[in-house]
Structure 1
Amino acid sequence: MTDRLYSDPDLVQFYDIENEGGVDFDYCINFAKDAGSVLDLGCGTGQLATALARQRSVTGVDPAPAMLDIARRRAGGESVDWVEADARKVRLGRRFDLVLLTGHAFQVFLTSKDQEAVLGTIAAHLAPGGRFIFDTRNPAAEEWLEWTPERSERELEHPGLGTTKAWNDFRRDPASGIVTYSTYYEIPDGGRRMLSAESKIAFPTRENLEGMMEQSGLVVEEWLGSWRGGPFGPASPEIIPIGRLLEDVSKRFARHRA
């Protein structure tokens, strides 16, 4: 993990302030209601994993020690099995009723090879009858246009540091579609201390994802366009596939034909 936004404790301390549970959090809690076991890939600081662990077995996987340090100290964190690992390579030797990858974590995987590897990890950990769900921003919505200093400037209330000014900036490679965005925090600790990080994310299309799913042993049963539950459309802000193992669907179809 080389992205300082997730690996530097000075920056990670802002993660929960910037990413309080919202409609995605609520949707996943409800979606998991019938799951006895959950694998949270890219679990970050563990907000969702610890909430899910109140009623089921949960394993949270993340490659960033600084994020997992917060997750382990979180109230309820002792109920989760935390694993420091890369979602492209991790193999836990067990399967789960639900595998999820939220917070746009899928977008940190920049190449189709890496994206296919993550989908392979999802398939390798799904129990028979299990389901998966993850999110990625729809490139057609061009959300990166909002990540300018003028449009993104905000004030954060840090419990120890006080009011902190934050903003973003970006540049986009038109050939690859990869967006490099910068995050800045100006901290009022006597002077004006500056923290910053540069991150890269990919914006695969729905067509890109469809092409990788079957090869990875997965099939999508529903495409959402937002965490409010609406169906995907060309202008939707999100691409959210929900599905199962391809072999589960194939067996169901074979029984139906018989």
Structure 2
Amino acid sequence: MTDLLYSDPDLVQFYDIENEGGVDFDYCVGFAKDAGSVLDLGCGTGQLAAALADRRSVTGVDPAPAMLDVARRRAGGQRVDWVEADARNVRLGRRFDLVILTGHAFQVFLTPEDREAVLATIAVHLAADGCFIFDTRNPVAQEWLEWTPEWSQRELSHPELGMVRAWNDFRRDPATGVVTYSTHYEIPDSGRVLSAESEIAFPTKESLAQMLDESGLVVEEWLGSWQGEPYLDTSPEIIPIGRLR
């Protein structure tokens, strides 16, 4: 894990402030209501995994120690089995009723080979009657166009640092479709700016459908948003829900 946004504690401290709750969190909490066991791949700071762990067995997997340090300390964190590992090759030797990969974590896998490896991980950990769900941004929506200093500038309320100014910027490789975006946090008074550069891919629904099929996974429903709306070509999200073939 070389992305400072997830591996540097100075930057990780802003993750929950920027990503608290949300419609994806609410949807997944409801979606998991009948699952006795959950595998959360790319669990990050563990907000969702910890919320699910009061009624079921939950395992959270993430490659970033700094993120897992936050996860272990959060309320309910002691109920989760935290595993430091890469979603492309982790093998836990058990199967789960539900496998989830949220927060657009699927997009950090930049090549088709990486994405195929993650789908293989999902397949090998799904129970015979289990279900999977994950999300990725629809490239048609071109959300990256909003990640400019002008459009992304915001203020965050940090419990110790006070009001922190934050913004993003991006560049896109037209050949690969990979977007490199930078995230900046300006610490008040000191003027110090903490920055990280991240890369994410924007696979199409058509490529995902083919990869899922080749991985032995069947999609039963495609959502276009975490409000539960059906997928349309213009939807902001691509959210497959499915099972083993």
Alignment of 1:124-203 (within 5 A): 124-188=124-188, 190-203=189-202
Q: In the alignment, is residue 215 of structure 1 matched against residue 226 of structure 2?
A: no
| Residue 125 of structure 1, CA deviation | 0.2
Structure 2 residues not aligned, in runs of 5+: none
Q: TM-score, normalised by structure 2?
A: 0.99
Percent identical among aligned pairs is 80
> Per the alignment, in what secondary structure is the counterpart of residue 130 of structure 2?
strand
Please give the per-residue CA displacement for 1:157-216, whole angstroms capped at 9, x wherever unaligned: 00011100000000001110000000000001x320110000000000000101101211
> Per the alignment, in what secondary structure is the counterpart of residue 54 of structure 1?
coil
Alignment of 1:59-70 (within 5 A): 59-70=59-70
Please give the per-residue CA displacement for 1:10-57, whole angstroms capped at 9, x wherever unaligned: 000000000011110010000000000000000000000000001100
Please give the per-residue CA displacement for 1:137-158, whole angstroms capped at 9, x wherever unaligned: 0000000000000000000000
Q: TM-score, normalised by structure 1?
A: 0.94
Cα separation, 2, equivalents of 1:22 and 1:139: 21
Structure 1 residues not aligned, in runs of 5+: 247-258
Q: Alignment RMSD, CA only?
A: 0.5
Cα separation, 1, equivalents of 2:242 and 2:111: 22
Q: In the alignment, is residue 102 of structure 1 matched against residue 102 of structure 2?
A: yes
Question: 1:250 aligns to what?
Answer: none
Question: 1:241 aligns to what?
Answer: 240
> Per the alignment, in what secondary structure is the counterpart of residue 25 of structure 1?
helix
Moved over 4 A (4+): none
> Per the alignment, in what secondary structure is the counterpart of residue 69 of structure 2?
helix
Alignment of 1:21-36 (within 5 A): 21-36=21-36
Instruction: Give the residue type in structure 2 aligned to 1:99.
Output: V
Larger radius of gyration, structure 1 or 2? 1
Cα separation, 2, equivalents of 1:136 and 1:21: 18
Please give the per-residue CA displacement for 1:72-125, whole angstroms capped at 9, x wherever unaligned: 000110000000000000000000000000000000000000000000000000
Cα separation, 1, equivalents of 2:213 and 2:156: 43
> Per the alignment, in what secondary structure is the counterpart of residue 177 of structure 1?
coil
